[in-house]
């Protein structure tokens, strides 16, 4: 009897034969190209059983392969049958390279242009030119074969009052329209879900962990906007909420409205928009201007109302974290060494005590011992969750989506007595964290110029970590917000006042332990005695850093002062909101440290 995966693989191969196509490429991404894919768009999961957040599969008549990165090399072997799929590394052997190896010259590979951005499509066409025919599909075969497809989540549309976001939709649209005009455009197609929601001051919960609506928008140079969402989902006061100049269209009319841009100069972000948009625009006679989403920079620079909300939600989030860490220390002292799932659920229960919590901001990374060495570990993707053990480290990376902001925090907690090696590596990572937190830099500085501050102490000892140091964070929007970041990648985006970025250096020893220390940082302007003001970071996160993991004598006086000052701020903001054993725990956790 055939398994479900075998049946689906057979159905795809029958489709290939019927259409005289040699291969089908199935990425994890959906048509919105967002970080999170709703259940009804998990096409790669439907085909293979793989639940990871990144990957792709290629199906031919004779072979099939699944491509994942280093985060999922273990997971893929447990979820995807090896007798049906070859396992390949997404970075070391990209899907297109595998296709070129396994298809004869003149063969064809089909893609759904909605599942790839336009920059990828251009690169693929160039790479395969004269070797493999790239067949652009009008419809996705998986959509035709997926008979038990989940019903899309239709969440309530939340209208965000101007007083809660700091700028009216009309004002935002005028600002963005000016940017469109400045770039030489008559219109811009806005495809990033958080950009659409930011522009119209709306939120939803159509996608788990991301407070957005599955929608698109077209903004014109006169600041009018076409919003593509089922009108039946909108309340009667939507029109007064957004102001004049916004028309609502059913998503079924998207292609017709995009084609109506014929003869116009249209801005399209090649990295955030799917290739289908560019193809339709070009076929309709529009001139496509490849340019960054004009909402990105204004959205990233938080206004005073958004900043106030981010500060407030971080204090409440800090209360939840302190309650959790108090409970955790008590459980470990009682030798109740829980598994990762229980710990994750317990932390979520503390966050849920806040009525303004709408969702988590991502799936909690709850990682005990050696599991924490996988920096994007997810206990839900394991046969069974790991369990705490004495004299190890526990890493918990978590966050919440609150009505007034988004949080993201990682704490690495001593379970019993950490080893000298664990303490040494934690302190090196902490020195890097403090280096970023204390940084001062001129306007125009890029994230890659700051990244060295986070790694320098690890580098000096021959260590490093294989992920970025920081990502942008939205205001009750995406926990991973572009366009700025702090990483080795030379991304040419300046860090500007009002941005919120994570600061999360770490260290990972395979099969042994993992360390990460993450706060969110607000970019602020600081007056100097020099010729110009500089930018610096203000830590938003309010939760102690586990001093049991620190070798104080490895810290310089300025570093130790920063740590003590930070813990004083945590005490000042959190202690009035907690009592009893939580307050006692907090007092101990924030006691000033001194060199021996």
pTM of the shown model: 0.95
Q: Give the mean pLDDT of the chain.
A: 96
The model's confidence at residue 171, banded by pLDDT at 50, 70 and 90, is: very high
Identify whether 596 is part of a domain.
Answer: no
Are 320 and 455 found together in one domain? yes
pLDDT for 425: 98
Same domain, 229 and 124: no
Based on the domain organization, do 324 and 236 belong to the same domain? Answer: no
307 and 258 in a common domain: no
CATH code for the domain in which residue 343 is found: 3.90.230.10
Identify the sign of the CA torsion 52, 478, 279, 491.
Answer: negative
Residue ranges in 334-404 assigned as alpha helix (H): 340-351
Nearest to 5 by CA among 110, 145, 102: 145
Does the structure show a pLDDT above 60 at 12? yes
Which residue stretches of 23-108 are H helix?
43-48, 75-79, 95-102
Q: pLDDT tens-digit profile of 88-121?
A: 999 899 999 999 999 877 899 999 999 999 999 9
Which of 91, 113, 145 marks a domain boundary? 145
Residue 152 resides in a domain: no
Would residue 393 count as lying in a domain? Answer: yes
Model confidence band, residue 447 (pLDDT cutoffs 50, 70, 90): very high
Same domain, 283 and 170: yes
pLDDT (tens digit, 9 = 90+) per residue, 182-227?
999 999 999 999 999 999 999 999 999 999 999 999 999 999 999 9
User: What is the pLDDT, as a whole number, of residue 2?
Assistant: 60
Does any domain span residue 430? yes
* Long-range pairs, 313-316, Cβ under 8 A, ≥24: 313/356, 313/400, 313/402, 313/404, 313/405, 313/406, 313/407, 314/405, 314/407, 314/520, 314/540, 314/541, 314/542, 315/542, 315/573, 315/574, 315/577, 316/354, 316/356, 316/402, 316/577
249 with 354, same domain: the answer is: no
For 480, the domain range is 301-590
Instruction: Mark which of 145, 172, 188 sits at the end of a domain.
Output: 145
595 located within any domain: no
CA–CA distance, 1 with 12 (Å, rounded to integer): 18
Domain presence at residue 414 = yes
CATH number at residue 90: 3.40.350.10
Instruction: Indicate the residue among 145, 173, 199 that finishes a domain.
Output: 145
**The total number of structural domains that make up the chain:** 3
Same domain, 136 and 164: no
């Amino acid at each position: 009897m055939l398994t479900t995966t075998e049946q689906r693989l057979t159905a795809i191969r029958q489709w290939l034969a019927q259409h005289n196509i040699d291969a089908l490429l199935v990425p994890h991404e959906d048509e919105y190209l967002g970080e999170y894919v709703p259940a009804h768009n998990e096409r790669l999961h439907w085909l293979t059983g793989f639940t990871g957040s990144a990957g792709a599969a290629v199906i031919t008549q004779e072979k099939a392969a699944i491509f994942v990165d280093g985060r999922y090399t273990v997971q893929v072997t447990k979820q995807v049958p090896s007798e049906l799929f070859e396992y390949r590394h997404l970075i070391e052997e990209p899907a297109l390279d595998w296709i070129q190896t396994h298809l004869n010259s003149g063969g064809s590979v089909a893609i759904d242009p909605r599942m790839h951005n336009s920059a990828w499509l251009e690169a693929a066409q160039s790479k395969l030119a004269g070797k493999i025919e790239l067949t652009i599909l009008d419809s996705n075969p998986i959509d035709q074969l997926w008979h038990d497809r989940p019903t899309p989540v239709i969440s309530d549309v939340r209208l965000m009052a101007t007083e809660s976001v700091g700028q009216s939709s009309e004002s935002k649209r005028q600002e963005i329209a000016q940017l469109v005009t400045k770039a030489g455009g008559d219109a811009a197609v806005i495809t990033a879900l958080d950009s659409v929601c930011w522009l119209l001051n709306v939120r939803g919960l159509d996608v788990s962990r991301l407070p957005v609506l599955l929608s698109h928008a077209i903004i014109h140079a006169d600041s009018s906007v076409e919003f593509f969402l089922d009108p039946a989902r909108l309340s009667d006061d939507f029109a007064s909420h957004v102001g004049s100049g916004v028309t609502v269209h059913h998503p079924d009319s998207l292609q017709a409205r995009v084609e109506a841009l014929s003869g116009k100069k249209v801005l399209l972000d090649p990295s955030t928009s799917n290739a289908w948009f560019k193809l339709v625009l070009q076929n309709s006679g529009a001139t496509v201007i490849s340019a960054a989403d004009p909402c990105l920079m204004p959205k990233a620079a938080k206004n005073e109302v958004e900043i106030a909300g981010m500060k407030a939600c971080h204090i409440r989030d800090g209360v939840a974290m302190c309650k959790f860490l108090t409970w955790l220390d008590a459980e470990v002292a009682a030798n109740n060494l829980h598994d990762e799932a229980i710990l994750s659920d317990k932390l979520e229960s503390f966050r849920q005590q806040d009525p303004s919590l709408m969702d988590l901001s991502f799936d909690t990374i709850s990682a005990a011992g050696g599991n924490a060495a996988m920096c994007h570990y997810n206990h839900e993707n394991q046969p069974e969750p790991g369990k705490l053990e004495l004299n190890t480290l526990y890493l918990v990376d978590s966050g919440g989506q609150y009505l007034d902001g988004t949080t993201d925090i990682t704490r690495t907690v001593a379970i019993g007595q950490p080893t000298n090696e664990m303490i040494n590596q934690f302190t090196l990572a902490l020195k890097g964290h403090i280096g970023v937190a204390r940084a001062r830099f001129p306007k125009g500085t890029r994230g890659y110029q700051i990244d060295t501050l986070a790694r320098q102490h690890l580098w000096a000892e021959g260590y490093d970590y294989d992920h970025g140091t920081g990502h942008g964070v939205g205001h009750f929007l995406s926990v991973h917000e572009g366009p700025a970041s702090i990483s080795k990648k030379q991304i040419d985006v300046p860090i500007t006042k009002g941005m919120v970025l994570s600061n999360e250096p770490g260290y990972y020893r395979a099969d042994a332990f993992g360390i990460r220390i993450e706060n969110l940082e607000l970019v602020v302007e600081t007056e100097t005695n020099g010729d110009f003001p500089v930018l610096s970071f203000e830590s938003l996160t309010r939760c102690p850093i586990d001093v049991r993991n620190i070798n104080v004598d490895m810290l310089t006086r300025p570093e130790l002062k920063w740590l003590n000052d930070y813990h004083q701020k945590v005490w000042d903001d959190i202690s009035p909101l907690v009592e009893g054993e939580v307050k006692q725990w907090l007092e101990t956790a924030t006691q000033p440290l001194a060199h021996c």
